[in-house]
Amino acid sequence: MPIVSDNDWLDELPAEAGWYHLWHPTHGMEMCWVARLQGRREGRYADVYSLLKGPHGTAWMVDTLLAEGCLFRAVPVPAEPRKNRLSKRKPRQQCAKCPFKVTTDPYDIPGGYDPVKHYMLRETIAQGDALEQMANPDPLRLMACHLTTGKRVSLPCVGWLHNQLGEGNNVRLRLRVSDGDVDANYELDGEQHKTFEDTLP
């Protein structure tokens, strides 16, 4: 059982939304995202806190957890982002025929082009704002590089990575990169499409 007597543990609603360590008498300690949402309570609209990631799954009310004896502690924000554990490798080069390159004609992609499969890759594109993404129960889907598809180890498409970490605002992907689970050490080649729809013929 963790020490919960430190004065940085809270037994009341957190003052701000963000990442917190959550200690639960039954489930132990883990990290969770606490969001401040506008909701209806006692017949009127007010700020309502919702737990989007924790031992009870998604969208549990923080005050419910407090009633169960939970405590919260803010996760300190490092001065510098943690380096990806794979970042010491040489940057992975973007493929010559990557679909996110403006100069690429999808019909020239090696291995043959399937417009239906191309369109279905839109399921790898983040939808909604940060709160909606964090509340999504489905596993994160990555768009594989066409040169590694079907091989023993598939690697994420460099153009897709760049798009989703930037313009696409894929929050769950950013967390995976921060945790070192996805290697975002890449090098682009030329101008890039800003949206997935722009990659379609």
DSSP secondary structure, 92-149, as one string:
EEPPTT-TTBTT--GGGSTT---HHHHHHGGGGS--S-HHHHHT--SPP--PBPTTTT
Within this chain, do residues 189 and 109 fall inside the same structural domain, yes or no?
A: yes
Asked if the structure places residue 64 within a domain, the reply is yes
Residues 37 and 136 in one domain: no
144 within domain boundaries: yes
Contacts with 109 (C-beta within 8 Å, 6 or more apart), sequence order: 97, 99, 146
Q: Structural domain tally of the chain?
A: 2
Tens digits of pLDDT across the chain (201 residues): 333 344 567 777 676 767 777 777 776 666 676 766 555 445 544 455 555 554 444 445 666 777 777 777 776 554 444 445 445 578 889 999 999 999 999 999 888 888 998 999 999 999 987 767 777 778 889 998 888 776 666 789 999 999 998 888 888 888 788 777 888 888 999 999 999 999 998
53 and 139 belong to one structural domain: no
Name the DSSP letter for residue 18.
E
Same domain, yes or no: 99 and 179: yes
- Asked if residue 148 and residue 106 are part of one domain, the reply reads yes
**Residue range of the domain that includes 185:** 92-199
Do 61 and 158 have their domain in common? no
Residue of 142, 31, 161 whose CA lies nearest to 98: 161
121 and 187 together in one domain: yes
- 1 belongs to a structural domain: no
Q: Please check whether residue 87 lies inside any domain of the structure.
A: no
